[in-house]
Amino acid sequence: MNETRLSRRNFLQMAGLSAAGVALAACAAPVAPQEGAGDMEGGAEPQTVQFYTLVWQPGAVEAAQAAIDGWNAEHGSRITAEYIQGGWGQARDYLTTSIAGGVTPDIVHGITAWANEYGTQGGYLDLTELINNSGLVETTHPKALDAAVSPLDGKIFSVPWCWEVGTMYVNADRFHEAGFELPLDGWTWDDFIPAAKELTSPPEYYGLAANLTATQTTEDIIAWMWQTGAEVMGGSGQNWEIDVQPAREALQLWHDMLWVDEILSQESFGGSNTLEAFGLGIYTMRQTGCWARRIVMEAEPEFEWHMVPLPHYKRHANSSEPQTWSVATDSTGRGTVDAAWEVVLWLSNDENSSAIAYGDWLFPTSVKAMEDPRFTTTEHSWDVALREVEHGVGYPKHPAWAEFDDRLLGPNIQKYLQNEMTLDELIDLLEVEGTKILQEYQV
């Protein structure tokens, strides 16, 4: 063999070319495995299914991990489930980029509104047939299942497994001292306003706090808009419209609570910590979901509080969005759809969904699981929240909703509440610009 010396210059050239080659190779698109490549054949490696979850309260994280451990203990030789911890704050960015990059985890936690949005755009699989053949239709609460059905095409892109309700937390001591009964069985706007006026004493304490920050305004006000009978965005198929006129009364009410009656604290606009302030008595009432009970209790263990329904008006409604498991379209390329579906069914069974929901201070969507005494007890107001499930309303399931909400509804309600525009201007803007957004998506 000819032996040649490799000079330093040659070596550097080769190194440069190799580095360039590696860089190019690293940038090349990954080759998707053939469908079914991961299937076990004659003792082959088990398939791995990625499970991306957004559970965050300690009890829920523990229960979700236990469910995955349980699956792996029973079925790990065939299908291994891999737990991936996500967070609600980053979930949308993560999912959007994952779907665009073709690397979405097999099972994705979310809410029905997101599932419909991503599903309609092709990021999640249509699970209609799998759900119809699984028995979930019979066991899941009809309202939760309805929320998962896309009104555009009737497809179901997610399995609802738990949900929460929008409620009002009240300072029980202050209610009693002022001679008001706790409205455990419900109350109306006419009951609420006089009580809130009586229970406000600015700047020492305010009757009500909400979360009116950029991303949360809609969440806290929309239930009041629904209570007027407004759908905000309603329709089916290709016929959708913006319907905010009836919501004038709700918007006016919130404006008056801020500027006329001084019931609502202006700190709601910037307050990520109004929940803790509620525990300190700075607010008599704090509107939020039933998930927040642990935080209130842990912040002020001695504080006497109670959870009551949201005041209702023409309609009894609270904001309630079922949480879901979806199967990513990317699973098709990895050949893991069937395996992912098996794990979804495992996570959605009564035992696991109840444990995870309970750990998150929420309800399972299984009718049978909701009868579990843990969810019907009067302790920590579970019974009040359970009754409110029947009045839960979810966000409109139209792909234009996210843009309408983030771009128009939330910011402009903030502007109206901060006196940057009149109510008429707000309604006109929402109708005109909202209709444009709808048309754009419908095209």
Binding other proteins (rule: CB under 8 A), the pick from 267, 300, 338, 431 is: 267
Q: Which of these ranges, 93-101, 169-177, 249-257, 357-365, lies near other proteins under the rule CB under 8 A?
A: 93-101
Binding other proteins (rule: CB under 8 A), the pick from 68, 162, 212, 242 is: 212
Q: At what angle do helices 217-227 and 410-417 cross, to 10 degrees?
A: 80
Binding other proteins (rule: CB under 8 A), the pick from 32, 40, 178, 214 is: 214
- 325 within 8 A of 341, measured Cβ to Cβ: no
Whether the bond into 203 is cis, omega within 30 of 0: yes
Sign of the torsion angle spanned by Cα atoms 406, 407, 412, 415: positive
Kindly identify the residues of this chain, within the stretch 221-260, that bind other proteins according to CB under 8 A: none
Cα–Cα distance measured from residue 318 to residue 224, given in angstroms and rounded to the nearest whole number: 8
268 vs 354 by CB, closer to other proteins: 268
3-state secondary structure 56-111: CCHHHHHHHHHHHHHHHHHHCCCEEEEEEECCHHHHHHHHHHHHHHCCCCCEEEEE
Cα–Cα distance measured from residue 349 to residue 71, given in angstroms and rounded to the nearest whole number: 12
In the DSSP assignment, the letter for residue 379 is G
Cα–Cα distance measured from residue 262 to residue 279, given in angstroms and rounded to the nearest whole number: 20
Total residues at the site for other proteins (CB under 8 A)? 63
- Residue 318 CB, shortest distance to other proteins, in Å, is 24
> Taking CB under 8 A as the rule, does residue 435 contact other proteins?
no
SS3 247: helix
Binding other proteins (rule: CB under 8 A), the pick from 38, 86, 207, 271 is: 271
190 vs 440 by CB, closer to other proteins: 440
| Residue 31 token pair | 């080759």
> Taking CB under 8 A as the rule, does residue 262 contact other proteins?
no
Q: Which of these ranges, 19-27, 43-51, 124-132, 297-305, lies near other proteins under the rule CB under 8 A?
A: 19-27
Kindly identify the residues of this chain, within the stretch 285-344, that bind other proteins according to CB under 8 A: none
Count of CB atoms situated within 10 Å of the CB of 31: 7
> Taking CB under 8 A as the rule, does residue 281 contact other proteins?
no
Give the x/- contact pattern for other proteins in 403-432, rule: CB under 8 A. x--xx--xxx-xx--x-x--------x---
Cα–Cα distance measured from residue 348 to residue 114, given in angstroms and rounded to the nearest whole number: 19
> Taking CB under 8 A as the rule, does residue 178 contact other proteins?
no
Nearest Cα residue to 98 out of 378, 428, 330, 307: 330
Binding other proteins (rule: CB under 8 A), the pick from 34, 77, 85, 97 is: 97
Q: Which of these ranges, 120-128, 173-181, 220-228, 306-314, lies near other proteins under the rule CB under 8 A?
A: 120-128
**Which parts of 281-420 are beta strand (E)?**
283-289, 305-309, 318-319, 323-327, 363-364, 392-393
> Taking CB under 8 A as the rule, does residue 402 contact other proteins?
yes
> Taking CB under 8 A as the rule, does residue 96 contact other proteins?
yes
Residues that bind other proteins (CB under 8 A): 1-14, 16-17, 19-20, 23-24, 27, 92-93, 96-97, 99-100, 121-123, 203, 212-215, 217, 266-274, 276-277, 280, 282, 402-403, 406-407, 410-412, 414-415, 418, 420, 429, 433, 436
